[in-house]
Structure 1
Amino acid sequence: MRIALRTAVVGMLTAVTTLTCGTAGATPPGPGVTARLLAQYTVGGTDYTLREITVPPGQSTGWHYHDGPLYGVVKQGTLSHFESGCASDGVYRAGASIKEPAGPGNVHIGRNLGDIPVVLDVLYVLPHGAPFSEDAPNPGCSFQ
């Protein structure tokens, strides 16, 4: 059982890593932002969780950071990603990969500035029991 679980987690990580290189409360996500659990495994002290995140047009994830790295793939739409200095640090279209580093020094927001929902598959690699995201206030940007 343990070998099968480890193999499944390694397979999931390999698939997402090959394709690649959450949600805040302080600035809450926009209406209709949803997350669907696809898979979840714990190995040692690390939780590996794969979720499908949907961000409707005109909405955002809210400002947040993560306690571990995230690896994502845009399945549909265009995600505009901004860092705490209010500058865009990337625009990710369908098929693109995104990686978010860990820690409170990496506050960011994902926004859907398009006219169709953004759908992402996201692998969270977090310390066991950590939340998917940590709340962060708007760092002073003119948008949420």
Structure 2
Amino acid sequence: MNSARRRTSAAVLTTIGIAAVSLASATTAVATPSAGVQVVTLSANTVNGTDYVTREITIAPGGSTGWHYHEPIVYGIIRSGTLTWTPSNCVAVQTYPAGSAVAEHSGPDHVHLGRNLGTEPVVMWVNYVAPAGTPPAVSVPDPGCGFA
């Protein structure tokens, strides 16, 4: 191969490589972190390959869980404050005052965000039931709602 042809081939490959990196960078989104959240594990046991975990989750006023979904079965109770729950469609917002039971669907089709829009801490006791080693939540990017 002559030298002009090698330079052209190298330039084409470099351009393709830059385009691929640019495309990957443009489509890579960053998960939204929680803010003002404290988690205390109250109980954690594994029985016959299933994890049973109970956590106390406190969200400070103005705090947020960050966008996420759960693989485990999740259910709990709001002990104090009012939880504002927003699904990935950004509009079917639900509020859960103290004493409310909460259950969430599993899997990546059920992305949501929990926020404390009130003036007192939201305190929840949450139970997770899943195959051993399953993380309690998977963080994901904002689905387009513009808040976290």
TM-score class, shorter: 0.7 to 0.9
Counterpart in the other structure of 1:110:
114
Q: Provide the rounded CA distance (Å) in 2 between the counterparts of 1:60 and 1:105.
A: 20
Alignment gaps of 5+ in structure 2: 1-29
Counterpart in the other structure of 1:67:
71
State how 1:21-100 maps to structure 2 within 5 Å: 26-30=31-35, 32-100=36-104
Task: Give 1 or 2 for the bigger CA radius of gyration.
Answer: 2
Tell me, what secondary structure is at the counterpart of 1:125?
Answer: strand
TM-score with structure 1 setting the length:
0.79
What whole-Å deviation, never above 9, does each CA across 1:81-106 have from its counterpart, x for those lacking one?
00000123420000001001110111
Relative to structure 1, is the Cα distance of residues 77 and 46 closer, same or farther in structure 2, using a 3 angstrom cutoff? same
Tell me, what secondary structure is at the counterpart of 1:59?
Answer: strand
More helix by share: 2
Relative to structure 1, is the Cα distance of residues 57 and 88 closer, same or farther in structure 2, using a 3 angstrom cutoff? farther
Q: 1:130 aligns with which of 134, 142, 146?
A: 134
Q: Percent identity between the aligned chains?
A: 50
- Look up the equivalent residue of 2:63 and give its one-letter code: Q
Contact 1:67 1:127 in 2 (8 A): no
TM-score with structure 2 setting the length:
0.77
The alignment yields a C-alpha RMSD, in angstroms, of: 1.2
Counterpart in the other structure of 1:21:
none
Structure 1 segments of 4+ aligned residues over 2 angstroms from their partners: none
